[in-house]
A and B are shown apart, each in its own frame.
Chain A
Amino acid sequence: MATDGLHENETLASLKSEAESLKGKLEEERAKLHDVELHQVAERVEALGQFVMKTRRTLKGHGNKVLCMDWCKDKRRIVSSSQDGKVIVWDSFTTNKEHAVTMPCTWVMACAYAPSGCAIACGGLDNKCSVYPLTFDKNENMAAKKKSVAMHTNYLSACSFTNSDMQILTASGDGTCALWDVESGQLLQSFHGHGADVLCLDLAPSETGNTFVSGGCDKKAMVWDMRSGQCVQAFETHESDINSVRYYPSGDAFASGSDDATCRLYDLRADREVAIYSKESIIFGASSVDFSLSGRLLFAGYNDYTINVWDVLKGSRVSILFGHENRVSTLRVSPDGTAFCSGSWDHTLRAQPQALLLEVALPGLEPSDRPGPSAPVNLRGCARPTCKTTCSGIKMGPVSQKLPKPAFQSTLFK
């Protein structure tokens, strides 16, 4: 009826204005507490010394772009997944491949190691997350024991086991995250709130309780209560898709890496962004971030093939690491903090612990030797095969023309 329609419009209008005023109030409240910058608080902290890292192991074996990797709790095994559907488990000390399975889909964008070390989970364009038990029995076919756990209505972008092998948390291009029971495949909780594809998630360190953070194409990072499914905090300061989120080791903050070429630190108790890690010279998106054990260092892999190491407290860059020959797609620090591993579209994974020798890591091949991309690459949204209108960034031309040539050869940086 006409009067009902009018009533609805009034309600909608009043709700909208209430939403606007609440948003304004939120801004005000957050601004009131913004009495100082993180780097100011850290002014008197001793600056970090010269920083040298050396690639110690290169894991070769993927025939295509490496999209994701995860460490096993035993600090030596690694699982990685790639565009051609292969999922490989490596022993990073010996570089041996211990297991390999071919998924029925391409673009396996997510993989995770179970806490027990006895299984892995992976998924991608198949819209599912599947768990494979790892067996050393040569006669057993790994693919035969596969268990489909999660079902989304769009691609799987990230997955992680919770504290046990029994539950898996997933993030998807369908805009939701979900918690599943591995044994039954039952959906335990779903998390709605992102306005576009969810690209990443990270679980809070176990001591800080049942929350996790997710980042998406809607430029928002959202913190969720796993039990209620409620979003408890949301942050929207990035200017483009958030590709990676990672909790600070204490659980009180988290970092994000985005296509807007910045990484940011959000403090959960102050409920706001407290640091931006950026430089005018860095114009390519950050695809993956992780902290060192103490939280002092933030490692970030970028689409310009480099890894920047940031001093979290002071906000400055302490080092650039070269070595990959294509964009860095994934990066994780090992569970004991002795090394970190990066995976790239150049088909390799590199493990880099702290070097003892003050040897400057070489920046890789000369441009003429470097295998260039065979076709113009659309840098924006390439990582997501279903990239269409959710992509909000600038489309860039062929990589070889846009790639900034490093003006310096050293990895030592103040």
Chain B
Amino acid sequence: MSGSSSVAAMKKVVQQLRLEAGLNRMKVSQAAADLKQFCLQNAQHDPLLTGVSSSTNPFRPQKVCSFL
């Protein structure tokens, strides 16, 4: 019956919401500080931030070989 299926569906929604309401949450200030910390710690290992020297850049412009 459509009645019982919508009740069942609503029960699932309520169950899900109960689950989510019961989560342990952290303050944004703490979470944001951790995000910032991660960025700064890994900044020097981030090639797109620091750049890659031409000699190690695998995508450097392809040179054409010439016969000497």
Contact = CB atoms under 8 A, between A and B. Distances in A.
Contacts, number: 184
Contact of A41 (B11, B32, B61): B32
Contacts of A11: 7
Nearest to B32: A41
B48 A292 contact: yes
A339 B46 CA distance: 10
Contacts of B10: 12, 15-16, 19
Given A16-B10, A234-B20, A267-B28, A297 B35 contact: no
Interface in A97-126: none
B27 A35 contact: yes
Contacts of B27: 33, 35, 270
B48 A356 contact: no
A42 B38 contact: no
Interface in B1-54: 3-4, 6-7, 10-11, 13-14, 16-21, 23, 25-36, 38-43, 45-54
B66 interface: no
Contacts of A252: 31, 34-35, 38
A353 interface: yes
A315 to B, nearest CB: 11
A50 to B, nearest CB: 11
Nearest to B34: A252
Interface of B: 3-4, 6-7, 10-11, 13-14, 16-21, 23, 25-36, 38-43, 45-54, 57-61
Nearest 8 A-B pairs (CB), nearest first?
A: A294-B42, A294-B46, A22-B17, A56-B59, A270-B31, A15-B10, A41-B32, A269-B26
